[in-house]
Amino acid sequence: MPKVLSLSDLLLRGRGAVSNDVDEEIALHIDARARALVQEGLSPDAARAEALRRFGDVSATRRSMVTSAMRQRGRARRRDQMENTLMDLRHTVRQLRRSPGFASAVVITLALGIGATSAMFGVLDRLLLRPPSDVREPERLGRLYLHRLDEGQEITITEVSYHRFDELRRGAAAAIDVAAAYYGPVVTGNSENARQVRGALVSGNFWSVLGARPALGRFFTLADETPPDGTPLAVLGHGFWRDAYGADSSVLGTTLDVGAGRFTIIGVAPPGFTGDGVTRVDLWLPAATARAVFTHLDAEWIGRHNFSWLSLIGRLQPGMSPPQAEALLGAAYRHSLDAVRGPTPGAERAPRASLWPLLLERGPERTDGTRVAMWVGAVALLVLLLACANVANLLLARGLRRRNEIAVRLALGVSRARLVRQLLVESLLLAALGAAAGMVLAWQSSGFLYATLFPGLEIAASAFDRRILLFAALMGLAACLLSGLGPALYASRADLRSMMGTASRSHGHRSALRTGLLVAQAALSTILLVGAGLFVRSLREARSTDLGFDADRLVVARIQVRSATGLPGGSSPVYREFLEPLRGVPGVTAATTTLQIPFSTSGSTSLAVPGIDSVERFGQFRLNGVGEDYFETTGTRILQGRALNRNDRAGSPLVLVVSDSMARVLWPGESALGKCVQVGGPHAPCSEVVGVAANIHQYDIRAEPSLQYWFPESQNQGNNSGAFGVLARVQGDPAAMLPAVRRALEPHVPGSAFLTVRTLRESVDRVLRPWRLGAAMFGLFGLLGLVIAAVGLYSVLAYSVGQRRREIGVRSALGAQRIRVMRMVLSQGLCATGIGVGIGLLVVLAVGRWLEPLLVGVGPRDPMVLALVATTLLGTALLASVVPAWRATRVDPALALREE
């Protein structure tokens, strides 16, 4: 058998080569045939003609042969590539198994980066990117806010009355279809079986505006919204239908008691339907049936404006633009306002409307949780970058170690493209492993993230889904390219002469790249650590903020009434009745009724003080009507005068206790005791200030202490009387006391109401949670960044010392002292770190103000944090450099020189 050319030779040639081959084959055949015919006795010309005749249609055969060959060639090339890739993969796996330390370092680094980024992406995707499910054309939908001037300042109105909604809907119908919704707890079932579920009261057109279709039955419509109380129809949430009714479709037509009403079930919402929000909803009711839930409303409520509870959404009519809708809504709002107060010059109130994205967190009502989530997401991205820089550095070092092998392979004719591909396979494999581990991490942590950032918000859908997986995969790919491409290109640039011969002398620009990566790492670590420091300090400040009351000692008990008429005489008598049994519970040392519950509710009314013009200019004064043992119960200290006591009752002289802050703004430099305050305005009677109490934070830890005053709830000040709940002061852990408190109070709860008992700490913790998470995440990532940077620095310096053995040997031989050699290596590491820290600090100074709204009691440029971070990083750099530096001094000149 004659020698054949290799298959791959053929494969590498193009279509031209293929048709040449075919032509040659055909020519050969015809020649051979003609020769055979000549031997049979034909003349050469006749033989040729006969040969062609026997062959048939030459051009058709040729075409068919070329096409077939091309197809086969393409298939073979693909198979070849696949085989090459598999070979590369096997090669890579072998290599990685040989250095498990390197492999696991890279995978863990990438997993943490990718996991953190993906988990945060999941949260932000749900809150900021993805439209709610089962919504048709979400881009035509928007959330509506109203604005008007109030004492010269524009205020934003997020909730409106049913009447206003109705007027806006009719007024702007030409441009936008406006719907309204309220989300809140509702009570279903009767007395013992009563339970609280997540409800929503929505306007009849809510369904058509969102474009949702029922999973079962039908939805209610605007026609069911007849005043005064609408038609009592209910649509079940899909999850509730499944959990409470076992997904039984015969549920349609049955009735369900909700609040004070009896509702007929007419439909089931689609699975995962959350309306315009993100939380699960169990029960959808018509907004016009509000009186069943809000039992204090009277029969005329639907025509009044004093109960603002509905948030507004709208769908643009076909062909209408947001500005057109805003203009019509603004006009409708003006009409609605004028109808109440009579026309006023427009400039005075300047009512207008604005259209925002449907997602709540993208509008003016964004929560701290989302802000923190965005920061943590950015931080996670930084960590991923840091991880990529580190992996790039590690790969670069490996590439340099392997450059002899690479140079040899290049010399043997392996193409650079093939080599780069092979090196990329390595980073791709590492990134794939990292991404897989990252997905597990994201999956494990997403539930925890939601619970921490958004307590009480039960996200309807699973916190982990395809989009997160896709994102993690994309991040993995990006990480692979980011960390692998540079090193692969560098490594493939190896050339035989410089590599094999004078290996160690030409690494100048490669080490420049590595130093650049080190600087970047140090800068990123600086940013992370500064963030961590600021959040940790904020958390500490927030925690140590003197709330003015003992949040850790207090239990709150409240009742929720579910009857149409309310309780005879209101709920205050019930709360007063609670006090005796409460005091009887072992471990309860004091109990009081209260109108406002810290970190849950607050209230204010107009106030006048003789001798002071318009006290409102000092800010909002928050009121509280309290029982006789209030200060003893909460632990709020009395600084001057006396606390309220049992002698302050209905009929006795009106008295007040004011907070220190209130006393200082109203009567600076004088004693507040004995001063007169008119609660309810200038026509109200004087209340005498009898005490000054310590400042308290009623709602917000970040804000200044509230301007606060307390009066006896029995003295009925400006219609702000009554009780809203009871507070009990307990010894020991309040959470452990909850069952005992519940048992003691349960017999005194009227049948038409149900009891909730919780610790005050819960409410305070809810407020602290974003900082806690921020501190934990920044702290974790900052530490991670520090470790990554330290490992990177160590490996670079150790490598560089290894490379410069000869140079160091020569220096030592020429008489350089060890200390100078050591200084040389140390300064290399410290310089890179120093520059990185400098850059990081500059970045922090530049972007710090964006962080400011999230910080408590500490500025974004806090010198202590900045100094501490710089010291930590430089100290770490020093530590990481010591070992390589020490090793450099141990280089034996004779040995190092002989190695060459």
Residues that bind another protein (CB under 8 A): 1-5, 7, 10, 21, 24-26, 28-29, 32-33, 36, 54-58, 60-61, 64-65, 68-69, 71-72, 75
Q: Which residue, 24 or 899, has its beta carbon nearer to another protein?
A: 24
Radius of gyration (C-alpha) of the chain in whole angstroms? 39
In this structure, how many other beta carbons lie within 10 angstroms of the beta carbon of residue 710? 27
- Residue 44: CB minimum distance to another protein, A: 17
Produce one character per residue of 495-527: b if its CB has 16 or more CB atoms within 10 Å, e if not: eeeebeeebeeebeebbeebbebbbbbbbbbbb
- Residue 51: CB minimum distance to another protein, A: 9
- Residue 48: CB minimum distance to another protein, A: 14
Rounded Cα distance, 429 and 422, in Å: 11
Q: Which residue, 20 or 156, has its beta carbon nearer to another protein?
A: 20
- Residue 428: CB minimum distance to another protein, A: 31
Give the Cα-Cα-Cα angle 352, 355, 357 (nearest 5 degrees): 155
Q: Which residue, 5 or 347, has its beta carbon nearer to another protein?
A: 5
Rounded Cα distance, 525 and 385, in Å: 11
Are 537 and 857 spatial neighbours (Cβ–Cβ below 8 Å)? yes
- Residue 1: CB minimum distance to another protein, A: 6
> Tokens at residue 519, please?
């600087």
Q: Which residue, 75 or 401, has its beta carbon nearer to another protein?
A: 75
Q: Which residue, 35 or 493, has its beta carbon nearer to another protein?
A: 35
> Tokens at residue 169, please?
């809907």
DSSP string computed for 737-771:
HHHHHHHHHGGGS-TTEEEEEEEHHHHHHHHHHHH
Q: Which residue, 47 or 112, has its beta carbon nearer to another protein?
A: 47
- Residue 40: CB minimum distance to another protein, A: 12
Q: Which residue, 55 or 850, has its beta carbon nearer to another protein?
A: 55
- Please enumerate in sequence order all residues whose Cβ is within 8 A of that of 225, keeping only pairs 6 or more positions apart, or say none: 203, 204, 231, 286, 287, 288
Handedness of CA 214, 218, 220, 223 (dihedral sign): positive
- Residue 70: CB minimum distance to another protein, A: 10
Q: Which residue, 26 or 478, has its beta carbon nearer to another protein?
A: 26
In this structure, how many other beta carbons lie within 10 angstroms of the beta carbon of residue 752? 20
- Residue 2: CB minimum distance to another protein, A: 4
In the numeric block, the tokens 């994309």 are attached to 474
Rounded Cα distance, 876 and 868, in Å: 12
Q: Which residue, 64 or 104, has its beta carbon nearer to another protein?
A: 64
Rounded Cα distance, 786 and 179, in Å: 52
Q: Which amino acid is at 202?
A: V
CA 480 from chain centre, in angstroms, equals 25
Q: Which residue, 71 or 91, has its beta carbon nearer to another protein?
A: 71
Q: Which residue, 29 or 505, has its beta carbon nearer to another protein?
A: 29
- Residue 24: CB minimum distance to another protein, A: 7
- Residue 19: CB minimum distance to another protein, A: 12
41 Ramachandran zone, left/alpha/beta (phi>0; psi -120 to 50): left
- Please enumerate in sequence order all residues whose Cβ is within 8 A of that of 282, keeping only pairs 6 or more positions apart, or say none: 197, 198, 199, 236, 237, 239, 240, 244
- Residue 47: CB minimum distance to another protein, A: 14
Are 425 and 88 spatial neighbours (Cβ–Cβ below 8 Å)? yes
